[in-house]
């Protein structure tokens, strides 16, 4: 469903290898968790997960996907399942992006976004989207 492609010299992104419908789960984020952010981690709660494909998702202020934390009521207490979900229909070959300011409290490496040239440093309002 996804593939990593070079966007420009030594800069990669995650792309749809087929059409993806709105609401479809693109990735289930699994991997190693850390207490501090890295350049490629995604913040889930107070921890930061390193997921191979997830690490290639670039920022966009109007993203094609979002990070949703699914709580699993029938699993062990405190079990969560972080998901990457399509916010809209995504065409084959289109880059899969998410808004870093919806998950990251503090960016390990702040940067100026290519969308608007705005400095991306972390969460603006502290909100997180959760699905029960």
pLDDT tens-digit map of 10-32? 899 999 999 999 999 999 999 99
What count of other Cβ atoms lies within 10 Å of the Cβ of residue 41?
22
CATH number at residue 94: 2.170.270.10
Q: So what's the pLDDT on residue 104?
A: 95
- Surface-to-core class of residue 119, CB atoms within 10 Å of its CB (0-12 exposed, 13-18 middle, 19+ buried): exposed
pLDDT tens-digit map of 37-72? 999 999 999 999 999 999 999 999 999 999 999 876
pLDDT > 60? residue 126: no
DSSP string covering 52-102, please?
A: TTGGGPEE-SS-SEEEEEEE-TTSSTT-EEEEEEESS-B-TTPBPEE-GGG
pLDDT-derived band at 88, boundaries 50, 70, 90: very high
Residue with tokens 């990457």: 84
Query: What span, in angstroms and rounded, lies between the C-alpha atoms of 100 and 106?
Result: 10
Give the mean pLDDT of the chain: 90
pLDDT-derived band at 130, boundaries 50, 70, 90: very low
Query: What span, in angstroms and rounded, lies between the C-alpha atoms of 66 and 83?
Result: 8
Structural domain harbouring 48: 2-131
Query: What span, in angstroms and rounded, lies between the C-alpha atoms of 65 and 123?
Result: 17
Asked if 28 and 81 count as a contact pair (C-beta separation under 8 A), the reply is yes
pLDDT > 70? residue 131: no
Write the CB contacts of 132 (distance below 8 Å, at least 6 apart in sequence): 71, 73
Tell me how many domains the chain contains.
1
């Amino acid at each position: 469903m996804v593939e990593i492609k070079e966007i420009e010299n030594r800069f990669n992104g995650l792309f749809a290898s087929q059409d993806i419908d709105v609401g479809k789960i693109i990735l289930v984020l699994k991997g190693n968790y850390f207490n501090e952010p890295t350049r490629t981690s995604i913040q889930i709660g107070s921890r930061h997960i390193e997921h191979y494909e997830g690490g290639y998702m670039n920022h966009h202020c109007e993203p094609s996907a979002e990070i949703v934390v699914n709580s699993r009521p029938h699993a062990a207490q405190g079990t969560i399942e972080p998901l990457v979900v399509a916010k809209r229909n995504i065409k084959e070959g289109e880059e899969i992006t998410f808004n870093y300011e919806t998950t990251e409290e503090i960016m390990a490496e702040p940067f100026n976004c290519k969308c608007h040239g705005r400095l991306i440093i972390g969460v603006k309002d502290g909100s997180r989207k959760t699905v029960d």
